[in-house]
């Protein structure tokens, strides 16, 4: 993994084989296998830090290949990791830092999407989410002029919407309460038509996924946030949409009507 000459061709060819192998041995790993898997992730972290020094020609491909391999390892052998595993938490932190680098942001966004969307069971899943979500909220809401970052924001916003939409019912309201204000904050700062349209699509996706949870969050939004949401959805192109405030049982709600 750390050999520069292997980065362009050999490593990309070997990674699918690596994933299949890890999926096999990591399904129900014994204690020795768990130790080997955790040691592998620790080794990947060492390779990653060395590649980030940019001391050899293939350091950038090495960094990209390493975060991809680490993501494969975590998703394919998640049963090997405990919630407080330091290597696991460090890898997630390193991965989110790669989002801010124009050279690695696209690969990092794809890896984050995998961690969010691919089902991960066991103790590792809540630990990964607890480390990812605050960092991703910051990533979406703090503008950057660096090239390529905007595309990664689109990927992250879509991935968060998909992931939170699959939360169990008892956790979905909390997930919506985190994501909806985040989407609105991004749209308030990034006023391009593309971002406004994307935000409208994400909001409507959440509303169609669980109208009750969506309504519950909207009830708690400030007047400014509700006004911004209405403006975003009304201004989006595509299917004709109406957003109106209604009084239902003496409490304000936002009703979404979509005429296809």
What is the DSSP secondary-structure string of 72-140?
HHHHHSGGG--TT-HHHHHHHHHHHHHTT-TTTHHHHHHHHHHHHHS---STHHHHHHHHHHHHHHHHH
Residues near 225 by Cβ (< 8 Å), separated by ≥ 6?
Answer: 181, 184
Query: What's the start-to-end Cα distance of the chain, in Å?
Result: 51
Distance CA 207, CA 228 (A): 16
Phi, psi (rounded to 5 degrees) for 127? -65, -40
Each residue's pLDDT tens digit, 48-100: 999 999 888 899 999 999 999 999 999 999 888 988 899 999 999 999 999 99
Each residue's pLDDT tens digit, 198-215: 999 999 999 999 999 999
Q: In this structure, are residues 62 and 17 in contact, taking their beta carbons and an 8 Å threshold?
A: no
Closest CA to 45 of 72, 63, 57, 23: 63
Global pTM reads 0.86
Q: In DSSP terms, which residues pair with 252 in a beta bridge? A: 247
């Amino acid at each position: 993994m750390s050999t520069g000459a292997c980065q362009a061709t050999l490593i990309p060819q070997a990674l699918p084989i690596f994933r299949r192998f890890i999926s096999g041995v990591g399904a129900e790993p014994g204690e020795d296998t768990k130790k080997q898997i955790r040691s592998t992730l620790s080794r990947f972290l060492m390779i990653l830090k060395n590649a980030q020094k940019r001391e050899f020609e293939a350091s950038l491909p090495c960094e990209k290949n390493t975060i991809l391999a680490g993501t494969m390892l975590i998703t394919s052998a998640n049963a090997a990791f405990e919630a407080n595993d330091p290597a696991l938490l460090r890898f997630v932190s390193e991965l989110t830092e790669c989002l801010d680098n124009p050279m690695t942001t696209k690969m990092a966004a794809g890896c984050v999407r995998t961690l969010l969307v691919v089902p991960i069971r066991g103790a590792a899943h809540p630990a990964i989410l607890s480390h990812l979500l605050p960092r991703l909220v910051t990533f979406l809401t703090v503008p950057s002029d660096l090239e390529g970052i905007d595309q990664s924001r689109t990927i992250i916003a879509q991935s968060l919407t998909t992931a939170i939409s699959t939360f169990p019912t008892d956790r979905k309201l909390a997930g919506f309460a985190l994501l909806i204000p985040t989407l609105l904050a991004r749209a308030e700062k990034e006023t391009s038509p593309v971002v406004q349209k994307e935000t409208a699509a994400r909001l409507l996706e959440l509303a169609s996924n669980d109208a009750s949870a969506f309504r519950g969050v909207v009830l708690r939004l400030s007047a400014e946030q509700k006004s911004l949401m209405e403006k975003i959805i009304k201004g989006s192109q595509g299917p004709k949409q109406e957003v109106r405030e209604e009084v239902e049982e003496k409490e304000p709600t936002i009703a979404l009507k979509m005429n296809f």
